Every structure is written in C-alpha cells, then in structure tokens.
C-alpha cells in the first residue's frame, strides 16, 4: 500500500475552508498540535486520533508566544522534510499538515506598535514583572491573550511565566482556524493538557480534548524533540527524573502514603544525579 502524502496548507483561510468542507460532508476532524521535529511520541498521538475521527490534521508550528526572549526559540530543532516522511509512514497517515508561517503576523508595521510595545513591557507577564514573550518583543501588535489563571500557577508556570499564556492562546487560535471535533495532547506535558481541558470547558469550545499516555525511550527517558540537544552526560542526568518517579511509585504501591516522604524520594534522586529541581509535587 502506497504511503499517504498529506496536503500541506500554510494559509489560515485555506485551512478553515478545508475543515469546513470536510465537516459539511459529515466527516469528523481531529487535530494533533505539534511544534515539529516529530518522534514516536507524536506518532502515538496521531494513532490515538485515528481512534476518534475520520480525518487528521497535524499542525507544525513553533509558537513564539510561549517563549520569552531568553529561552530557546531560535534553536528549537526543526526538520520539516523529515517530519513529512515520518507522517507518511504512520499507518493510515494524516490528511493535512497545517504549517503556517506566523500566526501573529497581521500585516502591521513594527513602528506603528512601538509605543504600545513600550507600555506592554511594563505590565505583561505574571504580576506585571516585565517578562514578555518573543511575540511582544518583536512588536507584532498582538494584544489578546488567553489565561487559565489558577491552573497556570505553580509547577512549570513558576519558572516560565509566559509559557502557559502562550500555549493557551496559540491553541485557541489553532482551534478557531482548524475547527476540529477532537484534539489530542500528550500527558507528558500534564499541566498543559489540564490547562487546555479547562480552557475548552470554560470557553465552550465544541471540542473533545483527549490525553494520550507518555511514550518513553528504551532507557526510560520521556520522548521529546529537545532530547536531541542533550549531551550523553545530560541525558544520563535526565534519566534521574523517570527513575525517581518509578522509585516513588513503587514506594506508594508498597503502602507509603506520606506525600512529603514521596516527594523527598524524588528530590533526593534528582539532586544525587546532579540535577536542579524546579518543583516536585505529589497528589494522592
């Protein structure tokens, strides 16, 4: 059976027309949002989407709205041709790859937004701390952000104050453009998955959000596009995360119910490996 080559769409209006045309024929549409540099974890999301919808759209877009200027937007790994080859190898394939150039480009000039940008710098981010996203630093004129205020606090939100605001906003944009019936997200980014679920509930998106289980490398490391940037030493240290979680899970299975002691098991294992811990939380 010949590999299925997806249609590549880069224009927002064309994407919306395609989706509406398919749904007018009684087809259901599933969306798998990605930032590209695909791996088997992404493939598992596509396979899950095939269980729920007739047609699959995979978006490939590195979202500048979730990066601050000090983060790794410019070095985020990319291999669009390789991504298409991987998608063609997925059983059942995908129908469309939505690969927009810039979802924050509205044809406005940077000079026209300079004054607004200067005032924005003083008030955006968490609590007006001056942290901005790459979108705001580049002065693209985007002003509207989606916040899931309680769930974005804590955990990853502590060290990345613009991240979840940027994620919720770009996912809202993708939902409005693709208009899917179902969207699939990986549980590796657990806080992100829960935030999207809450956003869909609170804003009455008619979309079913599905969480797909974590896919790991043979050595236990959770699959991630950024893994390619790890040195052998860094990769070994990264393994302490899955090892420490396995240690805590085993302790809980044996009857350990003290959350502090379970958290200490994780903290100790990561510190012993030379890692730096942003947070560790236990929920029973």
∠ CA 106-117-173, rounded to 5°: 40
Give 108-113's long-range contacts (Cβ < 8 A, gap of 24+). 108/140, 108/141, 110/138, 110/139, 110/140, 112/141, 113/139, 113/140, 113/141
Measured torsion, CA atoms of residues 191, 193, 195, 201, in degrees rounded to the nearest 10: -150
Which pair of structure tokens corresponds to residue 116?
A: 């607004």
- Which residue is associated with the tokens 């502590």? 158
First to last CA, the chain: 48
Crossing angle for the helix pair 163-178 and 190-202, to the nearest 10 degrees? 50
Instruction: Give the whole-angstrom CA distance, residue 32 versus residue 20.
Output: 17
> Residue 146 — φ and ψ, nearest 5°?
-100, 125
Paired residues of 216 in beta bridges: 222
The residues carrying an active-site annotation are: 42
């Amino acid at each position: 059976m010949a590999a299925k080559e997806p249609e590549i769409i880069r224009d927002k209006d064309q994407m919306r027309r395609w989706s509406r045309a398919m749904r007018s024929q009684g087809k259901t549409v599933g969306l798998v949002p990605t930032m590209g540099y695909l791996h088997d974890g992404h493939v598992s999301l596509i396979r899950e989407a095939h269980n729920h919808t007739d047609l699959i759209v995979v978006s490939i877009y590195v979202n500048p709205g979730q990066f601050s200027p000090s983060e790794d937007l410019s070095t985020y790994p990319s291999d669009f041709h390789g991504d298409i080859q991987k998608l063609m190898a997925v059983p059942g394939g995908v129908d469309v790859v939505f690969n927009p150039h810039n979802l924050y480009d509205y044809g406005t000039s940077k000079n026209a937004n300079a004054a607004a940008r200067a005032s924005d710098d003083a008030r955006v981010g968490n609590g007006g701390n001056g942290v901005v996203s790459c979108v705001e630093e580049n002065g693209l004129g985007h002003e509207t952000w989606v916040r899931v205020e309680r769930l974005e606090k804590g955990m990853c939100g502590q060290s990345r104050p613009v991240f979840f605001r940027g994620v919720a906003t770009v996912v809202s944009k993708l939902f409005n453009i693709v208009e899917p019936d179902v969207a699939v997200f990986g549980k590796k980014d657990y806080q992100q998955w829960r935030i999207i679920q809450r956003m869909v509930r609170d804003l009455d998106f008619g979309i079913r959000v599905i969480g797909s289980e974590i896919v790991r490398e043979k050595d236990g490391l959770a699959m991630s596009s950024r893994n390619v940037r790890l040195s052998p030493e860094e990769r070994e240290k990264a393994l302490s995360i899955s090892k420490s979680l396995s240690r805590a899970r085993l302790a809980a299975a044996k009857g350990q119910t003290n959350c502090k002691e379970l958290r200490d098991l994780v903290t100790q294992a990561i510190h012993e490996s030379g890692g730096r811990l942003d947070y560790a939380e236990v929920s029973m």
